[in-house]
Amino acid sequence: MTELRTARLRLRAFRPGDVAAVHVYAGDPEVVRFMEWGPNRLADTEAFVAEAVDPPEGSHPFAVERDGVLIGAVALTVTSAEHRRGEFGYVLARGAWGRGYATEVATAVLAHAFELGLHRVAATCDPANVASRRVLEKTGLRYEGRLHGYLHIRGEWRDRLLFATVRPRVSGERR
């Protein structure tokens, strides 16, 4: 699996020994309040890490490290190989919020998506998650609309905001 680096972060493959570090954020109700999953029980986190260690084809999960400490995750999923479309999502431990790490992670994964040959990459966020919306906009994704009643989360139908971008055209390239 590819390893990605930013100025301050390392995005690497998950390892079986990552369960405890992942569970710190995956079990935190504040961290997952806008997610469609969680807060995780330990068994949920173990299952996630097992799948992330051996991901299905088209899935590119990365553990996010700062100074050798796992602080979150980001995943890129190819949603259509034929149409070269993908989507990504990210989550960071509460102690990593407000430092620009999410923007670094999103930028790195978006560049990786285009290196893989994807043409269009999308991401969604909860309308109340203002910080995530800012990350997506800073990363170069454009707001495309509101997906009403898109997810059923913890007994409630939730909307999502859709953001996307297309691969920048290279000089002389045809689309």
**Whole-number pLDDT of residue 175:** 57
Enumerate the β-bridge partners of residue 68: none
Give tens-digit pLDDT for 14-55: 999 999 999 999 999 999 999 999 999 999 999 999 999 999
Q: Which CATH superfamily is domain 4-166 in?
A: Gcn5-related N-acetyltransferase (GNAT) (3.40.630.30)
Burial zone of 68 (CB within 10 Å; 0-12 exposed, 13-18 middle, 19+ buried): exposed
**Which pTM does this prediction carry?**
0.93
**Whole-number pLDDT of residue 169:** 74
Enumerate the β-bridge partners of residue 164: 122, 142
Backbone phi and psi for residue 107, each to the nearest 5 degrees, phi listed first: -65, -45
Which residues contact residue 155 at a Cβ distance below 8 angstroms, ignoring those fewer than 6 apart?
Answer: none
| Token duo for residue 107 | 């930028």
| Token duo for residue 73 | 């995750």
Per-residue pLDDT of the chain (175 residues; tens, 9 = 90+): 789 999 999 999 999 999 999 999 999 999 999 999 999 999 999 999 999 999 999 999 999 999 999 999 999 999 999 999 999 999 999 999 999 999 999 999 999 999 999 999 999 999 999 999 999 999 999 999 999 999 999 999 999 999 999 998 765 666 5
In terms of DSSP H, where are the helices of 60-167? 101-115, 130-138
Cβ contact 97:121 at 8 Å? no
Enumerate the β-bridge partners of residue 88: 76
